Each structure stands twice: as C-alpha cells, then as structure tokens.
Structure 1
C-alpha cells in the first residue's frame, strides 16, 4: 500500500505540473502578460484570488524552508514558489519523492517525505524557544485576513460565481491555486486517521481556500504544547506515537 502511494504521488505531481505548464503557455499565447495596469485582468475578485493564492502557499513555503538545510537553496526554492506557484510546488514535491529510498517508500513515504533526515529519530520536545505559539498567531492572522478580504470583495463586487469572471488569467490562477490545494490536501488526508473528519476538513479547505487551510493548521498547532518542535505539526498521530512523542508527552504530564 505504501509503495503504491509513493508511485501514485510520483505520477500525480508531474501530471499536475504538465497541466499547469500547458495552462500557463496557453494563457500567455491568447491573453499576453498580466500586467498590473490591465483593468481587464486585475478585477477585485482577481486581486482577492491572488491574496488567497499567496496565503495558501505560505505553509508550503514554510515546509520548503524547513526541509532545506542549506539556506541558499531554501531561499531559492521559496523565491521560485512565489514566482511560479504550483509549478514549483509540483517540481519540489516530485524531487523529494525521487529522493526516497525503496525502504522509505515501502515503510511510510509521507513520513519520510515531510520530515528532513535530522528530525526523523527525535521526540520533538524540550525546546523552550519553540515557534509553535508564533506559528499559531501567524496562521490565525492569515486566516482572518483572508476571511476579511473575502467579505469585503463580496460586499463591494458581488458574488464570484459569474461568467464574466472566467477570463483566461483568472482561470489560470484558479488552476494554479487548486493544484496547491491538492498538494495540501494530500497532507491533510495523511494527518487525519478518521476518514469522516478528513473529508469534512477537505471540504472546508476546498470551499474556503486558504482561510480553511489556515484554520486547520491553527487547530493542529493548538494540539501541540508551546515546547514542542514545530515540525511535529507535519506528522499524523500514528507517526508521532511511533516516534516516541506520545510516550514523552505522557511522562511530562505525570511529572507536572
């Protein structure tokens, strides 16, 4: 099952890369570059979708920065993500999948994909300067910003479900946005052991975009203590228990 998952992801992400690349090339050929001075492109809902898009890739950028031990590679990948969006997401995830050994792919590909090598055998506790509380505030603020932006645009420009909004660059932006949603959904489904809960959160993420994703991340961060390492939010409960995290938590609870 684990090997099939790894193989499936190796097919899905290159396929999404090709879809996005074809969409981008087509849009450039029929509608040119989306300069900020073009009112036919930068409509209120396009701007709102751009805000939604960049908030949605914020957790992906944080993950990439965490995965890369070299700061120069980290900055380079994040810049590429900001410039090319889902094209970079698909390329980066695929490269990480290719790096998995056959043993890692057969055991738990998501666990080895999400964590960097140096953190795979740690319990994730004992850091008094953990950024967990800061991350809660940041993603909570991003979620509130997106909700506020959505409400403002609805009040000033009406419903987004209009035919006139489906012009080439809006469609291209939506394709890129939802490819990133798919990438985040893979992590969300992996996190949730109950398929009902996972499906509900998935619907929230699809319907509310980055606002729903931000809420989900904050909920997961609230399950960590202020001394936990931030990377633990990446793991499912099963992986955290298997790494010794739950055992350490119980010991700490008894001591306190």
Structure 2
C-alpha cells in the first residue's frame, strides 16, 4: 500500500499492517495513531496514560528512548520513508543527538524489526510488541521447551492467554554493534488500550552508551487457537548489504501535512 506507506496481510481472522510512519497531524496522541510500527484489527493499540511516560508506558509496537528514565521520546516524524514489496524503511530522530534508521520486514504471520541507532548520549530504550487482554493476575508464560517462538527463553518476552499468544523475541542485528536486550512483560496502566480495560505488553529493554548500535526482534501475535501447530519463527536475517539496498530502493512514502494556519 504505497500511498499510506503500509504493508498488509491477513492471518487467522486478523488484519495486520506494518506502518512506515506519517507526518502526524496536530492533535492528541498523533504519534500513537500514525507512527507505531504495526497495527492490527484484532489487537488494536494503546495510548499513553501520561503523554510521554517512559517507565510506565506500554509502548506497544514502538521503540521509545529516554535520557532520564521518565520522559519518553518516540517516532513522531520521519526525515525519510521508503516502501518495497514486503519491507519499509524510515529514518527518524526521537531526540537531539539520537538518529534512528528502522527497517520493517513482513514475514507473515511474523514480522522482523531492525533498528540502527546512532547516539551521542546515554539513553534507555524500550520496545514493545502487541498487547493482549489482561484478565488474570499473571500471564501464563509458556515453558522454555515449548516451540512457541521461544517464549520462556532468556531472549524473548511473551505469554499465552486462553484467547491470544504474543511474542517479542530479541535477535542479532546485522547493522551496528548488536545489543542483547532484556525481556519483560508489562501490566499496562488501566484504560490505555483501545479495546481492553487492562492489557499485557511484551517488551525488550536496553541502555545504550554513545556509539552505533543494532537492535532487532521477531514479532508475532495470534489467536491461541490458531497456534497449533505453532508457526515457525523465521531464521533468515537480511544482510547489511540488503538493508542498504532497501535504504536506497523501493519508492518514497508520501507523508501527510496539515496546512499551517
């Protein structure tokens, strides 16, 4: 979908789009509505209870940065955005002295996210996957020996509920210095999700020092009833050369601007 800058697929009764990002309009929560990495008809999305809370924000399908651990900076506009047959590329700067390049690759029902982060300051980062309904006091995290995309492994955040399974698995990026991130599951602040009063969100966290870093993760959310047999997690990672081709290939994504008064 070249005009809005989206890659779309349908799976197990859900429609998912990867989003290249837009020039957000001047209204509340525009970044959450237009600049998350992925959107879903089944899993919708969250908005922050506190407009830019880093520590407690769900940050579902977003990569958030913070220098003080309190104020979050997220993708809100791009300086470049490109689209190909099954990929999206964007370049953005969440805060001064921090530059990010993001690649999104559709591998249905999974997708792959890669980020090249160049920072001149110490920053904390949180990346979220798809949120699902929270109806229990604790999510049922799958055992380490289950094949559900490695849920329970030391490099994966994810869990299983009676209705849904969500997975966010860290990976080694072929760009920048790879970062091993820590997984966690966040009980999001009530009433931040559009569909459910309470939600669980899988997240990966890392602190970056000045330098050039590479982040990557595989992402999946699917009805639990559709998991058996579980979909294999892809293992093929694009090369740095292939990512460079995407940076210069495809076509430019249009962005939307409101006329200035």
TM-score w.r.t. length of structure 2:
0.28
Higher strand share: 2
Q: Which structure would you say has the larger RCO, counting Cα contacts within 8 Å and 6 or more residues apart? A: 1
TM-score normalised by L of structure 1: 0.29
Structure 1 or 2, whichever has the larger Rg, is 1
